[in-house]
Structure 1
Amino acid sequence: MLTVQQHSRLGKEILQDCDLAHLTMPQVQSLKQSLWEQGVIVVRKQKLTASQLKDFAIKTFGDTNLGRRPKPFDPEIDPALQSPGVSILGNPKGLTQEVVGKFAWVWHHDKDHLPKTEGLDMNALYVVMLYGVEIPAEGIDGEPHTTNFLDMMEAYQNLERQHRQQLEKQSMYHLSPITPPPGEDIPRKLHPIVSTHKITGRKGLYLGSSTSILQGLEDKPQEAQLYWNDLFATILDCTPVYAHIWQPGDIVFWDNSQVMHTGMPYNANKYKRIALRLGVVNH
């Protein structure tokens, strides 16, 4: 696996010296255009409350509600970090082994949350923004703290032509990665492995996560797991991984129709990490 900190497309910094809480409409349109073109973008040096982040998201992309039940406010966490629909990832209460969001330390698309929302097209443009309020000095490997991304448009192009043609005929079933409450069923939805982006028209791969099941292997879980692992290993072998190095105040946006990502572990007994996460369906 080749990991790079500069990528030809992913990770472009935009809107330097701006305040996302007070963007003009031309700036909003510029941000969205950059996101569709680049797949991953970053705006640095922001100082927003959770409520300001949510207001910005609604102004830019539309409704932020994906059917999630709002959580009650936590009196042990700064109220400025809390707003309905905004998740707090990391260890906001201080040094501890308990990390919120550790399940995201595997490769995945966040669009696998979408089966929880009835009537929503699995090819919908689901954008996630992650705001780094407090950043660990390093990951567990001693390197800078990063979130890693894979360009799935590039991955599609890097595959051999015959392999691309084969994948274009196949689909996978996807489940939400979050376990539902007892007695609640989450529908499983089908998504083509090769899909066409709704705005750019470019083709890319959509793999979900390792729980995805190739259509036709519904009753063969071991074969489905092996198929996913082999396909993902092939992609990793031919596509560089972009590592975004976090700085406090960064807001990273990614288009889940274009990229996979993984959070990277850090020592929560040694460092504090606070990140605000918000997912939106572009309307």
Structure 2
Amino acid sequence: MQQHTFKQHPRLGTEVLQGGNLRELTNQQRQEFKQSLWENGVIVVRNQNMTASQLQEFTNHTFGESGFKYLPKSLDPDIHPDLQSPGVSILGNPKESSPEIIGQFAWQWHHDKDHLPRTDGLDMNSLYVVMLYGMEIPVQGLDGKPHTTEFIDMVEAYQNLEPGYRRQLEQMSMYHLPPRTYKLGSDVPMKKHPIVSTHKVTGHKGLYLGSDTSIAVGMEDDLSLAKQFWQELFQRILECTPVYAHVWQPGDLVVWDNSQVMHAGIPYDGSKYKRVALRVAAVDKTQIV
């Protein structure tokens, strides 16, 4: 897919709380932090030093306890205990004994949706916040450039499409499945959601596409056609909407409002470089809308 990538964006990737410590925020600072997130879609806090449990504690205090827990049976002896906590997942290749990379499925464009399709009462464009804390960063990706995660502004993407095409999409919805690979059937949770969604805080319209497993309503009996439709739509978006690339530094916490942006991880060579990133997600339960 063609795309134009750049490292500056008028709103995505705004740096906040310069010199601040996320473990010591006041309630007012937490509210300002969230307001910056709704306004900018992706925000960055640099030079943090947290364990997995401290990251989860910050999430709970800021957005409320989500109840979304990844519960390991026991601590992994090959991974430092500070990297392990219920509710926090580890991405990258944290084990010294193995170059296996955890999270390669995220190396494609998608909205994070984890629990949304299978949780009653949550729209697909709920205020679903995802945080990624980079502890160890590869020197470069497979493309030889600095290690990045790429984001695209789906509010901007909607505005950049031709008016006639926007009106067409406003009449359409998609079925969304849980992430990764699921075979369709009566036991697979799916939710129908409009392609054009209205943000619950800002009121701005944007596109919500999920991933290339999403199925446009009316194409349920032809999954190859549904995937082709999704890919052609996303290619059209890439051709008219620049991509923001966050260049990682150790200690970065990158936070994104999943209802406003899509993102993609960039591959790297796990046999040469180590990457350790902690990921936590929550639906904001403190926002009055």
Same fold per superposition (TM over 0.5): yes
Cα displacement string for residues 3-56 of structure 1 (whole angstroms, at most 9, x for unaligned residues)? 000011100000011110111111101100000000000000000010100000
Q: 1:217 aligns with which of 203, 206, 219?
A: 219
Whether contact under 8 Å (2:110, 2:264) holds in the other structure is: yes
The CA deviation at 1:161 is: 0.4
The CA deviation at 1:96 is: 4.0
Please list every run of 5 or more consecutive structure 2 residues that lacks an aligned counterpart in the other structure. Answer: none
- C-alpha separation between the residues in 2 aligned to 1:147 and 1:134? 14
Map of 2:145 onto structure 1:
143
SS of 2:79's equivalent in the other structure is coil
Map of 1:227 onto structure 2:
229
Q: 1:97 to 1:81 in 2, by over 3 A?
A: closer
The CA deviation at 1:180 is: 7.0
Q: 1:105 aligns with which of 101, 104, 107?
A: 107
- C-alpha separation between the residues in 2 aligned to 1:69 and 1:81? 14
- C-alpha separation between the residues in 2 aligned to 1:208 and 1:35? 20
The CA deviation at 1:143 is: 0.3
Map of 1:62 onto structure 2:
64
CA RMSD of aligned residues (A): 1.7
- C-alpha separation between the residues in 2 aligned to 1:243 and 1:132? 15
Map of 2:119 onto structure 1:
117
Whether contact under 8 Å (1:64, 1:85) holds in the other structure is: no
Map of 1:88 onto structure 2:
90
The CA deviation at 1:129 is: 0.2
State whether structure 2 residue 46 is matched by structure 1 residue 44.
yes
What amino acid sits opposite 1:79 in the alignment? P
SS of 2:32's equivalent in the other structure is helix
Cα displacement string for residues 131-164 of structure 1 (whole angstroms, at most 9, x for unaligned residues)? 0000001111110000000000000000000011
Whether contact under 8 Å (2:69, 2:87) holds in the other structure is: no
- C-alpha separation between the residues in 1 aligned to 2:238 and 2:212? 14
Q: 1:84 to 1:273 in 2, by over 3 A?
A: same
Map of 1:167 onto structure 2:
169
The CA deviation at 1:117 is: 2.1
SS of 1:111's equivalent in the other structure is coil
- C-alpha separation between the residues in 1 aligned to 2:126 and 2:243? 24
Provide runs of 4+ in structure 1 moved above 6 Å. Answer: none
- C-alpha separation between the residues in 1 aligned to 2:186 and 2:21? 41
TM-score (norm 2): 0.94
- C-alpha separation between the residues in 2 aligned to 1:68 and 1:198? 27
Q: 1:95 to 1:231 in 2, by over 3 A?
A: farther
The CA deviation at 1:69 is: 4.2
Residue range with higher mean Cα deviation, 186-195 or 34-43: 186-195
Q: 1:32 to 1:110 in 2, by over 3 A?
A: same
- C-alpha separation between the residues in 2 aligned to 1:40 and 1:71? 33
- C-alpha separation between the residues in 1 aligned to 2:74 and 2:126? 29
Q: How does 1:1-283 map to 2 (within 5 A)?
A: 1-66=3-68, 68-94=70-96, 96-111=98-113, 113-179=115-181, 185-283=187-285
SS of 2:113's equivalent in the other structure is helix
TM-score (norm 1): 0.96
The CA deviation at 1:63 is: 1.4
Whether contact under 8 Å (1:135, 1:273) holds in the other structure is: yes
The CA deviation at 1:66 is: 2.5
SS of 1:109's equivalent in the other structure is coil
Sequence identity of aligned pairs in percent? 63
Q: 1:34 to 1:104 in 2, by over 3 A?
A: same
Whether contact under 8 Å (1:147, 1:261) holds in the other structure is: yes
The CA deviation at 1:101 is: 0.4
The CA deviation at 1:184 is: 10
What amino acid sits opposite 1:158 in the alignment? N
Whether contact under 8 Å (1:14, 1:41) holds in the other structure is: yes
Aligned length: 282
